[in-house]
Chain A
Amino acid sequence: MREKYRNMNNNLVQYIFSIADNSLILGQRLGELCGHGPSLETDIAMTNISLDLFGQVRSYYQYAAKLIGNDETEDTIAFLRKERDYKNVLLVEQPNRDFAYSIARQFLFDLYHLLLLEELQNSSDATLSAIAKKSIKEVSYHTRFSSDWIRRLGDGTDESHNRIQTALNDLWVFTDELFHQTDAEKAMVSEGIGVDVTQLKEAFYKRVNTILEESTLQTPTIEYFQKGGKQGIHSEHMGYILTELQYMQRTYPNMTW
């Protein structure tokens, strides 16, 4: 029924999905942690990040819904697509194995996210530019939060050092995908709407390296990277994320909540 999402020859909509879906899936992952954090203060802080991300998601999807028209809403976009239609990167769907994984995932994504938004605010699309400007303030704080935790865990105890290093090593395979360009992205870049992510790569790894060095951590070295999320080819985790995310809308279709 909702094949339209894939076939829709609307690069702008696809582009919005590729940005917003990251925030949706990461927000969902962070939501799993609410009530289970290492301290009450940390719990509250990470929920704030989740709330920021869902706020961004809503702005993006509301815009996309307007572009798609008909009876599309932020919720049909969030809850009723098929797995292949979600365009988030593999990084954000990785599970909360322990606090180190959650922080490493957050840190890698935040640094990328901030670089992206810093460029997106110059988009010729007024709505995207406005969302980016608002989101930059939030994501700057996320970056500060996750970078501080990278330092604490890296230069904390032997155990924390090992755990965060392991998490970074494991998640490193997903970093290259952040800088892959889809066809929709290329089209948007040429129209002055989208951000050329290939141009962010160098700054990303430089910023990451600086903080890892300060944190007495090694930059992982990997020869082969994973990719696919941006094309809708996800990890096996994704199906379970969507199972929970979509449960209500799938079980009780066409109702008001």
Chain B
Amino acid sequence: MSEKEVKNLEEIFDAKIARDEKIEPKDWMPEKYRQTHIRQISQHAHSEIVGMLPEGNWITRAPTLKRKVALLAKIQDEAGHGLYLYSACETLGVTREELYEQLHSGKAKYSSIFNYPTLTWADMGAIGWLVDGAAIINQVPLCSTSFGPYARAMVRVCKEESFHQRQGFQIMMTLANGTPEQKEMAQDALNRWWFPSLMMLGPTDDASVHTEQSMKWKLKRKSNDDLRQQFVDQTVPQADMIGLTIPDPTLKFNEDTKHYEFGDLDWDEFWQVVKGHGPCNKERISARVNAWEKGKWVRDAAMAYAEKQESKKLNVAV
């Protein structure tokens, strides 16, 4: 294909997206579109399955049976969401195994918030309320992203996730209305998860590299700073409602803009965690690698069994 022909195809392609038409896996697409999507969708998938670990940490210790089943079901959903997203990614010609390899080798990124430890039961509340809350703000616009399989996966994810944030908020609300000790536990969790949740929405706009291209492809509909503002605006009143204090003394409502103004974020810490220096980076990756390596003989056995059954069937047919 000549350069001119490619350029022509790209123009048709861009026009299609601008008209809100979806791109499907077998359609022609610029190589950069394919690579960007593989990267973003797989990062998203990795975040889901690494995200299972900090919460999984509390399954055996959940305080009541009702909380235990809700937490289990929520973490199971995250496995499901990882699966939908890996499947969407696979339509772009990469295998789940290759994507795992990238995660395990440290080549692929995942949401850095999951590198923080879950220390008390209130962290289950804070994660559901804040981390899932921030995730939803990010995910809802992706339901109308340009790549069909990603958009469809996100529709399913968003539908299923609607209970996750409620589950978390209800945990926090119960703690905040509980004994002083419980309230303190809730406040402590909010203190620890607040800033990481804000930073989870991505670097500030001036430090963000991919935004313009991503906007065009509808991988992003709003800038990171806008998303962050939306998150703060919706979450502060929720904290007020249950009597918890946002751990930001500079936080104040601006009557003119009708937005909350909040303090500076510790981006140095953010980048350190992204680079692998968070409190749990090593544990998270080694848990994933461990599960995969220890599962190898199981997966091999299932394949060997399937092949034996297949050849038995063939022998009978002959």
Contacts and interface: CB of A to CB of B under 8 A. Distances in A.
A156 B83 contact: no
A50 B299 CA distance: 21
A255 B64 CA distance: 11
A39 interface: yes
Given A156-B305, A255-B178, A98 B72 contact: no
A8 B83 CA distance: 48
Nearest to B73: A51
A230 B316 CA distance: 48
Contacts of B299: 38-39
A57 B301 CA distance: 33
B130 to A, nearest CB: 19
A213 interface: no
**In the complex, which of the residues B63, B66, B121 has the most CB atoms of chain A within 10 Å of its own CB atom?**
B63
A237 B53 CA distance: 23
Q: Is the interface of B mostly helix, strand, loop or mixed?
A: helix
Contacts of A35: 49, 52-53, 56, 75, 79, 287, 291
Contact of A51 (B67, B76, B179): B76
Contacts of B175: 257
Interface in A65-118: 74-75, 78-79, 98-99
B11 to A, nearest CB: 39
Contact of B61 (A54, A155, A244): A244
Interface residues of B toward A: which range? Answer: 35 or more
B69 A51 contact: yes
B82 interface: yes
B103 to A, nearest CB: 13
B308 interface: yes
B49 A40 contact: yes
A152 interface: yes
A19 interface: no
Nearest to B83: A40
Given A47-B75, A47-B76, A51-B73, A247 B294 contact: no
Given A28-B60, A99-B298, A159-B300, 17 more contacts: A31-B72, A32-B59, A38-B294, A38-B298, A39-B299, A44-B79, A44-B83, A50-B72, A54-B72, A75-B65, A152-B301, A153-B298, A159-B297, A244-B61, A255-B181, A257-B175, A257-B178
9 contacts: A34-B52, A34-B79, A35-B52, A35-B287, A37-B295, A47-B76, A153-B301, A256-B178, A257-B175
Interface of B: 49, 52-53, 56, 59-69, 72-73, 75-76, 79-80, 82-83, 86, 121, 171, 174-175, 178-179, 181-182, 287, 290-291, 294-306, 308
A-B pairs, top 10 by smallest CB distance, nearest first, are A38-B295, A156-B301, A160-B301, A248-B63, A38-B298, A35-B52, A257-B63, A35-B56, A47-B76, A244-B60
